[in-house]
Amino acid sequence: MGIALSMISGGDVALLYDSHLAAGGEKPQGTAVLGNANLASQMGTTMSALAGGAVVTLSYGHLLWANAILSWIPVLLVLRVTEPPATLDRGKKRAEELKELLSTTLVRDAATRHVLLNMVAWGTGGLVMFWVNQKYWQESGVPLASFGGLLAGYGLIAGLAGRSAALGIARFGRRPLLAAVGVLPVIAYFGMASFLGWGGILLGILAPIGRGLGQVLFMEALNERISSAFRATVISLAQLGIRASFCLLGPLAGYGIDRWGLPSVLSALGILFSIAFVVLLLPLVVREGSLSPSEGVKQ
């Protein structure tokens, strides 16, 4: 399953985005397309959380069989997918092109590097919050049967936030939305640390709002700056950074919860992502124009 998911990483977004461009899409519509894709993904999470919560009451075996059967749906859907024509420069070796692209993305172009690092930072924060939430609900006395409903609600909120990104940019501009990506999860961490129970659970809703906005804003910014030939590669690199960072931060958070308690770890995470906001996200908020496409990178 892990190998299969790694094959999807980056390729799905790149295929969607390139198909949109091939159809003559414009930049604002690109934001809406990514928002629609994010909402569709979160709707899947919402429905599976509700259905899984019901099926697992029968047995874990029933849940595994349900997943095995439903997993054939994407296999059938992908047979209907048409891939846009590739636009590779045959004058260069692919390894040389990739080396040049990564050098530009990670070293020479500061704006693209900041987008990539922010994707990693706030993507990691979203994963940590996802797993901490379940411990938080447990200590708040939420019945296990209600976990699926809460997970579904949080996922739906994240999807709607991502779907609203294009409308938010048109109405308020990009800068306030970028600030919200960092500020809302920080408020959620500190709020959950201060109010254990339903008050903290309600404040925790701010985190998926920020996550939904960030998934669309950062992905759109990165897609605009990367050529079609290596779009999937760079997105996969960002996903690798998220998973690798979670492999470090996730176990530390779990150990901290066992050692010092949930409120202390939530406060520490709030401080950590406050630092990430100042160091990584604030430069993008201040220089909002740096998220516009860079022809030097795309070439």
How does residue 294 score in pLDDT terms, banded at 50, 70 and 90?
very low
Between the alpha carbon of residue 53 and those of residues 46, 152, 271, the distances in Å are: 11, 10, 34
DSSP 290: G
CATH, domain 2-84+92-298, list 2.60.40.10, 1.20.1250.20, 3.90.1150.10, 3.40.30.10: 1.20.1250.20
Share of the chain above pLDDT 70, in %: 83
Please give the residue that has the higher pLDDT: either 59 or 271: 271
Please give the residue that has the higher pLDDT: either 49 or 132: 132
Please give the residue that has the higher pLDDT: either 147 or 120: 120
Residue boundaries of the structural domains of the chain = 2-84+92-298
State the Cα–Cα distance between residues 232 and 234, nearest whole angstrom: 6
In one-letter notation, the amino acid at residue 286 is V
Residues near 243 by beta carbon (within 8 Å), at least 6 away in sequence: none
Q: What is the pLDDT of residues 182-229, one digit of tens each?
A: 999 999 999 999 998 899 999 999 999 999 999 889 888 887 777 776
Could you tell me which of 187, 169, 186 has the C-alpha nearest to residue 178? Answer: 169
| Phi/psi-derived region of residue 255, left when phi > 0, alpha when psi is between -120 and 50, beta in every other case | alpha
216-250 as b/e: b if 16+ CB within 10 A: bbbbbbbbbbbebbbbbbbbbbbbebbbebbeebb
Two tokens, residue 101:
């692209």
Residue 99, pLDDT score: 73
Q: What is the pLDDT of residues 88-127, one digit of tens each?
A: 555 556 677 667 667 766 666 777 888 889 999 999 999 9
Pair 97, 230: CB distance under 8 Å: yes
Please give the residue that has the higher pLDDT: either 90 or 162: 162
Report the chain's mean pLDDT, rounded to a whole number: 83
Residue 38, pLDDT score: 77
Q: What is the pLDDT of residues 218-248, one digit of tens each?
A: 888 887 777 776 777 788 888 889 999 999 9
Residue 281, pLDDT score: 92
Please give the residue that has the higher pLDDT: either 288 or 16: 16
Two tokens, residue 32:
């809406």
Q: Give me the mean pLDDT over the 43-56 stretch.
A: 84
How does residue 28 score in pLDDT terms, banded at 50, 70 and 90?
very low
State the Cα–Cα distance between residues 184 and 21, nearest whole angstrom: 32
How does residue 83 score in pLDDT terms, banded at 50, 70 and 90?
confident
